[in-house]
Structure 1
């Protein structure tokens, strides 16, 4: 029979899932719940709110036995989940159900099971005689572009905690992943001039210029697809680029004054992310100048809606071997989806992604995690605590 998680762990995960922390809403009720759990275990923490005060990160440090708070390992997880709107669920997505060895609920795989396992070990962590500290980092708004983790990582840096490694517990089926692509989302708004369609010289067609931009996006995508660079550790071994939304126009007999395009790219670590952004921005500006030449009120706005760097942790980094020693599955695979690992990595904290569940179930209706994956995560965290303890 596959290993089963403890009832206490399932209880912690259930508590987290019942908080609807869809990214458009506040995560503060869940944060307050976690704070109460930390207080009960005697663990101090820092709340890091967003500018509006409607959401927050949490940073907690369990110091070493001698009181040292620097060094050690970060365990990182996000608290938000994606919407369930329009999805056909077999059960209430925020009321967990166990069926056939699987826990069904929104956030079960991505990624409240990982956070729940950590919460189930708080008393053990507080009582442990640690050789080096363990830092807990829980963020908001990961699902809309790793927004919250920016200030969370900044807080770790400003406190000079200098962790020697980080584990981001996104679902990898407990594989130790040391690389993923960057994530970058953009919106380009084309502002033309409306006119009756029989009087084309009096208008500036926003859709026409937006279409030119989409053609440029997909020409660059074809360039990367055929010319590389390539990294065969990825399922999609090149930088992927695609325009995914397009809107514009009000009537068939009216030259459209407005059109908008959203596009994204996910780049390999060997691609200069900022240089590629500059390339797209330059094309938008070129089209904006052409529009303004037709009518000086026309133009283009280029907006970065979300972005997070990729992660390329060296194979010989200590955290890679440590995670494997704690029970993570060693692999040379890299993943195409983005995580907060790149933010930790960019801050000089070697990072791997390793957590329970399969990314294929994340964001889907009837999202689930296999109970044996939760049990494997329990074993991983227990091994980590034992390894970092003096006993």
Structure 2
């Protein structure tokens, strides 16, 4: 080997493992952190980055946590898979909200939805197994798949189909190595909601080919207009034995910081994921579980109020974004995100610069308009921006007004 040729690093030379070194930072959290840092430095930044309700956690949930802090039984270890009373409440909540009949042994309580997703994939994937991932996708999905040894296979949808993929697209992506379909409705980052008929068609296709389905239902209560939420294993019961449902309290009850999610699935898979969690983190914080118990056992009055506000903001942000030349924004039917195409702005001159990518455009927007948005590259589809409308009405209007002013200057 010549002196000019670097020798490959040995295991002792590698400071960070290849597996972990390949993980990208969460783009949404990175944008949110940068926006908060600029605000702390005195900049009037308006952040559309993080998907986080701007409402406080309802008072009765907070009080349940306060009482749990005072209860000595919560000062000790509890079962790794979750408090029995919380698992039982999740069973009842699932029956109430989606009509899905399950047992406590099919539930694992996790440290938020992200841990639920990772542990679910870790429990069913072997190295080389392929997972079909509709894009645009939430940034965590492909990283969780790769960490579990799987291979994400992206299937792209765009604004012309309302960001919904077809069975024909899914079939074209299926190979002999395909094991799982990831399915999300309502969707982050697009707000797309699949109809009952579309969900049934996708579920039957998966069942016909013996595929697993991991379906993320975290936004189940945030749907608007004529759209409605449907749980795939309810519509396609023959799929239930190979279906994993991920959910949590973060979005419905404005509890993002409490970190409580759950996995629902076949008993053997849930047991395997529970074994993993017993070594990874043990039980979720008992105080947070007590708060989650109060949340899922209570009514949905708080989320109804939030949904009314989100619906109002949804209409406002879509109208204002579509007033910008070069921007196309379909109306989201669920969650709290707008996902406009900005391909019509790329390459145009804006304040002496010609952003060629949505990453460059997002950087220009932050620097020139002091507005934080997430570029589509983070979600597998360059040429788009994601804006969360889970922020106050005044900030939303001010932020999009700044975008209108800046992007309205675009010239060929």
Task: Give TM class, smaller chain.
Answer: under 0.3
Q: Which has the higher helix share?
A: 2
TM-score scaled by length of structure 1: 0.22
TM-score scaled by length of structure 2: 0.21
* Larger-gyration structure (1/2): 1
Q: Which has the higher strand share?
A: 1
